[in-house]
Amino acid sequence: MITFEGFDDRTFYLTFQTEEDCLQYLSSMKWAENYKCRKCGHGKFMKGKKSHSRRCQKCKYDESATAHTLFHQLKFSLMIAFEMVFRLSCDKKGISTLGLSEKLSLSYQSCLNFRRKVQYAMRSSQRYPLKNYLEVDEFAVGGYDSESQGRAKGDKKLVNVALEITPDGGFGRAYAVKIEDYSSTELEKIFKQHIDPENTQIRTDKWTGYIPLTKKYNIEQEYSENGQNFRQLHLHIMNIKNWIRGTHHHVSKEYIERYLDEFHFRFNRRTYRKSIFKKIIERLVFSTKVTQSQLRVWAT
């Protein structure tokens, strides 16, 4: 059985040297719990036609290691797919799609299509909302914000971000969502999706859009003083903006939330990077509830 816990190139290339290694890794993950035939529910199997596939002893249904996973019917090798997951999850600063395309000698479009699947796997489960002490603020990327004058208005992307501040003043976990405007309804999205309303103290700036939310959430408003009163949060916002501009140059309004998810998936796991690769592969293997057509809609 192949295991991989790491984030360094050498261990990765030593672990996954052949297509067979990748298939074995997927197969042992997919059937880690007892085998059960997808068609008839029978619990015994024999070796299937393809390498690491399993064939039901009763109804003879033959299931490959990649069937019903997001690795099914890829137009390139599993080794390339694994390397893409590795680059996207373990490179500290992530990588642009163009960078992936050059590194893997694969077309830009193929890289982008698969990146969408990985981003899908990187979405927050929303099961572990932020809590204790948080700061929330909204910001714009592109468009008419002060750092990129003169771009088309339609290109302006608005984002709301929430960051946990640890008792010693450090960074905890964070999430960000795309918003359409700075109204209370839009600002509440991040509260609904990512913030535990109980036992959580939230700080925002004095923006009036937060006032209606003070009835439902424990919010304290304070003057921002150009970010001086929200030092950690503003540093975090700067890092998000730098990543979008520096690594990707441009991310459209339609897709920005996927990149925010990707950024925060890595950010929230920065202290235990060893398990990131496995986590993503697991999600790609068990995303069976997502149909191919749903994924296409999500991915276009």
Query: Which stretch in 45-53, 57-65, 151-159, 242-250 sits in contact with Zn ion by CB under 5 A?
Result: 57-65
Which C-beta is closer to Zn ion: that of 40 or that of 238?
A: 40
Residue 248 near Zn ion by CB under 5 A: no
Residue 211 near Zn ion by CB under 5 A: no
Q: How far apart are CA 200 and CA 62, in angstroms?
A: 51
CA 75 to chain centre: 23
Q: What is the DSSP secondary-structure string of 149-198?
A: TTS-GGG-EEEEEEEEE-TTS-EEEEEEEEESSSSHHHHHHHHHHHEEEE
The residues near 293 (Cβ < 8 Å, ≥ 6 apart) are: none
Residue 20 belongs to what H/E stretch? helix 19-30
Residue 35 near Zn ion by CB under 5 A: no
Contact 162, 174 (CB under 8 A): yes
Q: What share of the chain is helix, strand, coil (3-state, %, to 5)?
A: 45, 15, 40
Which C-beta is closer to Zn ion: that of 52 or that of 203?
A: 52
Query: Which stretch in 35-43, 64-72, 121-129, 254-262 sits in contact with Zn ion by CB under 5 A?
Result: 35-43
Residue 37 near Zn ion by CB under 5 A: yes
Binding-site member from 36, 39, 72, 151 for Zn ion (CB under 5 A):
39
For residues 58 to 77, the per-residue mask of contacts with Zn ion, x marking binding by CB under 5 A and - elsewhere, is xx-x----------------
Q: What's the closest the beta carbon of residue 291 comes to Zn ion, in angstroms? A: 22
Binding-site member from 40, 46, 235, 238 for Zn ion (CB under 5 A):
40
What the block records as the tokens of 152 is 């088309």
Residue 36 near Zn ion by CB under 5 A: no
**Contact set with Zn ion (CB under 5 A):** 37, 39-40, 42, 56, 58-59, 61
